[in-house]
Amino acid sequence: MRRGAEASWRRSPSFGAKLMRIDWLMLSFAAALAVIGTATLYSVADGSFQPWAERHALRFLLGVALVIAMAFVPPAVWLRLSYPFYGLALAALALVPILGNEALGARRWITLAGISFQPSEIMKLALIAALARYYHWLAPERVSRLRWMLPPLVMIALPVMLNFRQPDLGSAVLCAVIGVATMFLAGVAWHHFALGGLALLALLPFGWHHLHDYQRRRIEVFLDPELDPLGAGYHIAQSKIALGSGGVEGKGFMMGTQSRLDFLPEKHTDFAFTMFAEEWGFIGALVLMGFVVALIALTLLRSARAPATFTRLVTAGFSVSFATYTLVNIAMATGLVPVVGVPLPLVSYGGTAMLSLMATMGLAMSGLVHGSDIPERDEIGPLI
Query: Distance (Å, rounded) from C-alpha 129 to C-alpha 123?
Result: 10
Judged by CB under 8 A, which of 72, 85, 148, 263 binds another protein?
Answer: 263
* Residues of this chain, 306-345, that bind another protein according to CB under 8 A: 307, 309, 312, 316, 319-320, 323, 326-327, 330-331, 334, 336
Evaluate whether 24 touches 289 at the Cβ level (below 8 Å): no
Residues within window 35-74 making contact with another protein, judged by CB under 8 A: none
85 binds another protein (CB under 8 A): no
Residue closer to another protein (CB basis): 95 or 289: 289
Quote the CA–CA distance of 88 and 364 in Å, as a whole number. 20
Q: Contact with another protein (CB under 8 A): which of 82, 120, 166, 258?
A: 258
At residue 163, the 3 state secondary structure works out as helix
Smallest separation (angstroms) from another protein to the CB of 133: 16
Span of 61-69, 106-114, 165-173, 276-284 interacting with another protein by CB under 8 A? 276-284
Q: Applying CB under 8 A, does 241 fall inside the site for another protein?
A: yes
Indicate whether 367 belongs to the interface with another protein (CB under 8 A). Answer: no
User: Which region among 6-14, 17-25, 164-172, 235-243 touches another protein (by CB under 8 A)?
Assistant: 235-243
Whether a cis peptide bond, with omega within 30° of 0, leads into 119 is: no
The span from the CA of 232 to the CA of 247, in Å, is 25
Indicate the residue among 116 and 372 with the shorter CB distance to another protein.
372
User: In the complex, what is the shortest distance from the CB of residue 186 to another protein, in angstroms, rounded to a whole number?
Assistant: 8
How buried is 195 (Cβ within 10 angstroms: 0-12 exposed, 13-18 middle, 19+ buried)? exposed
Tell me which residues in 131-170 interact with another protein (CB under 8 A).
Answer: 140
> Among the candidate windows 120-128, 147-155, 162-170, 184-192, which touches another protein by CB under 8 A?
184-192
Q: Which DSSP state fits 349? A: -
Pick one of 9, 85, 109, 184: the residue that binds another protein (CB under 8 A): 184
User: Does residue 292 interact with another protein by CB under 8 A?
Assistant: yes
Return the number of the residue (131 or 292) whose C-beta is nearest another protein.
292
Compute the distance between CA of residue 69 and CA of residue 77 in angstroms, rounded to an integer.
13
Contacts of 168 (CB under 8 A, 6+ apart): 106, 108, 120, 341
Let me know if 7 is exposed, middle or buried by CB neighbors in 10 A (0-12, 13-18, 19+). exposed
In terms of Cβ atoms closer than 10 Å to its own Cβ (0-12, 13-18, 19+), residue 45 is: middle
Would you say 131 and 177 are in contact if contact means Cβ atoms under 8 Å apart? no
Cis peptide before 140 (omega within 30 of 0): no
**What distance in Å separates the CA atoms of residue 333 and residue 186, rounded to the nearest whole number?**
32
- Scanning 33-41, 153-161, 200-208, 303-311 for contacts with another protein by CB under 8 A, the matching segment is 303-311
The answer to the question of residue 202 lying near another protein (CB under 8 A) is no
The residues of the shown chain that bind another protein, judged by CB under 8 A, are 2, 140, 181, 184-185, 187, 238, 240-248, 257-258, 261-263, 277, 281-282, 285-286, 289, 292-293, 296-297, 300, 303-304, 307, 309, 312, 316, 319-320, 323, 326-327, 330-331, 334, 336
